Amino acid sequence: MKTSEIDMYDAFFDYLKKFSPDPLSDDEKALIRQTFVPSRLRKRQYLLQAGDQCKNFTFIVKGAMRMYSVDDKGIEHIVRLGVEGWWMGDRESWSMLTPSIYHIDAWENCDLLNITRAGSMELHRRIPAFCEMKLQLDERNHIANNRRLTSAIGAAAEKRYTDFMECNPELLGRFPQHIIASYLGLNKDTLSRVRRTLSQK
């Protein structure tokens, strides 16, 4: 069942409540509706392709998405996964107005809310809850990125997978094993071995 545009905005209003106890005013809700543009993607449809500039950051209302690069051998390397209540976009391309090196596509049919960089800056200036959301998300992303880098550099395959299960349980049932393996920097056979070992413990 498709999500109505009203429900899409309501989902975002509920999401903002996680970051600020103060309710949004009617004027703030109206500004959010004016700034975010709803859209839908079918499974495997692109939000962004490498070489294009990322003009929108996207809030996932419904569905699952992946962000990845493709090397010279045609192998995909997953750098980010996202489901409901997560954001998707190439921050560097969005901020620096440069071509992206990533593809972003829908792994499932998706209902989305899209915002431009100018729109984000306007909401940051005028809506305290949005400003607080960005601050908290930036902090969480910094911590998560450092942990993932540390894991990729030095952690064994089993540790990478158990950390992933602990930190991202909502992703396990939404993406197949080869996608999760790529996200963890493992091959599919290694992840299969790790899963067998863990099931025997």
**pLDDT given for residue 6 in this prediction:** 83
The letter for the amino acid at 40 is R
Q: Residue 104 domain-assigned?
A: yes
**pLDDT given for residue 150 in this prediction:** 85
Mean pLDDT (whole number) for 83-88: 97
As a residue count, the chain comes to 201
Domain count, the chain: 1
**Residue 60 β-bridge partners:** 112
Residue 65 maps to which CATH number? 2.60.120.10
Q: Residue 13 domain-assigned?
A: yes
Domain ranges, residue 96: 5-126
Q: Residue 193 domain-assigned?
A: no
**pLDDT given for residue 136 in this prediction:** 95
Tell me the pLDDT band of 201, cut-offs 50, 70 and 90: confident
| Mean pLDDT, rounded, of the chain | 93
Mean pLDDT (whole number) for 19-43: 95
**pLDDT given for residue 149 in this prediction:** 83
**pLDDT given for residue 2 in this prediction:** 60
Mean pLDDT (whole number) for 8-34: 95
Q: What is the pLDDT of residues 140-156, one digit of tens each?
A: 988 988 888 888 888 89
Give the closest residue to 102 by CA, choosing from 111, 114, 93.
Answer: 93
3-state helix, strand, coil in the chain (%, to 5): 50, 20, 30
**pLDDT given for residue 4 in this prediction:** 84
Q: Residue 201 domain-assigned?
A: no
Does an H or E element contain 183, and which?
helix 177-183
Mean pLDDT (whole number) for 48-67: 98
pTM of the shown model: 0.92
